Amino acid sequence: MVTQKALQQLAKKHGTPLFVVDHDALRQNYRTFKKYLPRVQAYYAVKANSDPAIVKTLYKEGASFDVASMPEFKIVYQNIKGMPARQRQDWIWDKIIYANPIKATETLEQLDRYKPLVTYDNFEEIHKIKRHAPRAGLALRLKVPNTGAMVELSSKFGAAPGEAVDLILAAHKAGLGVEGLSFHVGSQTTNFENYVQALNLAANVFKEARDRGYTKMNLLDIGGGFPAPYDDSVKPFRELAARVNSEIERLFPKNIQILAEPGRFMVATAAYAVSKVIGKAVRDGKPCYYVSDGVYHTYSGVIFDHCKYPIKAFKRGETRISAVFGPTCDALDVVSTAENLPDLELGDFVYSDKIGAYSHASSTWFNGFPPATVVHVNQ
């Protein structure tokens, strides 16, 4: 944990807006995941935060990686140290899955030389992969319940379980190898029943595939969705892990490789945003503070991730319900309309913790304001 004093010192040294990544927290989150899900290989979802330093730290801990674009693939491929590039070709499957079910033909052509493991969920994608990346191994993505997830994904991706085996056999007929199945229960899933239902659906598809003559699948990707402990309403990870472990042991033999794509769980609690009060007003009786970071930058998750990041003050004093706005001229740039804050002055620092996932990763240069400066600590 980075102390308030340390955050203020870093802000004075580097200026604001500032994004502070704590690598001790990254390591602890990875170890917690492995402790409670020992059979599951963690493929960090790079989209959550693609900073190369984060990739390096998690790789050293033993992580593999889930990528969804060629730039993300290259970040992983180019930032793994200690392995000659010529050896990485055979290493790709163990360390990278390209888990975007829809891929441009140009992407497939670039991927083919690596003989990658990729996901798919429809017949058209089979034809594309066969033509442009015939050396790829495939994992069929299933549509599963996303009930209660903060970000629902099944309306965009996933094959209906009823057509799953038809898609597996179609890929096989095209000369492609289907290695297994994947699913995603939705981001920040606090409804643990989603995992139970998804694992049972996957087991049924495995059985149907065997019954229809396809016996080559030996991989199950249980996706992401593992909830970050943003507040006390999120149940402990060990409780979810116990449910997942129980179903995996009951449904899948030891020869089935289990992998997952934790993103938010790995990085959410490992970063802080520090900004400065640059403006102050009272509107309709409510204190309003304008700060040097906003929803076009580190607080992008307010818009894109349906997530709230409480704004905290370093100074003490009686608090009032206040609004916090970002620095741009856009009325959309509202960080919060209801924060309990003391009376702040121009130049005061404020901060948010647990803001490592889907935040700085979506920063823009809108209105000419640059993304926050990134500082890494405890590397």
The answer to whether 329 is a known catalytic residue is yes
Which domains does the chain possess?
A: 4-19+271-377 (2.40.37.10), 23-268 (3.20.20.10)
Taking the whole predicted model, whether its pTM rises above 0.85 is answered as yes
Rg (CA), the chain: 22
Q: What's the pLDDT tens digit per position in 33-88? A: 999 999 999 999 999 999 999 999 999 999 999 999 999 999 998 887 555 555 54
Q: Which residues of the chain have pLDDT under 50?
A: 88
pLDDT at 327: 98
pLDDT at 80: 76
pLDDT at 305: 86
Pick the catalytic residue from 85, 282, 329, 331. Answer: 329
Q: Can you read off the two tokens belonging to residue 160?
A: 């209906």
On the CB side of 164, CA atoms within 13 Å amount to 30
pLDDT at 152: 52
Q: What's the pLDDT tens digit per position in 168-191? A: 999 999 999 999 999 999 888 878
Per-residue 3-state assignment (H helix, E strand, C coil) for the chain: CCCHHHHHHHHHHHCCCEEEEEHHHHHHHHHHHHHHCCCEEEEEEHHHCCCHHHHHHHHHHCCEEEECCHHHHHHHHHCCCCCCHHHHHHHHHHHEEECCCCCCHHHHHHHHHHCCEEEECCHHHHHHHHHHCCCCEEEEEECCCCCCCCECCCCCCCECHHHHHHHHHHHHHCCCEEEEEEECCCECCCCCHHHHHHHHHHHHHHHHHHHCCCCCCCEEECCCCCCCCCCCCCCCHHHHHHHHHHHHHHHCCCCCEEEECCCHHHHHHHEEEEEEEEEEEEECCEEEEEECCCCCCHHHHHHHCCCCCCCEECCCCCEEEEEEECCCCCCCCEEEEEEEEECCCCCCEEEECCCCCCCHHHCCCHHHCCCCEEEEECC
* 277 close to 287: Cβ distance less than 8 angstroms: no
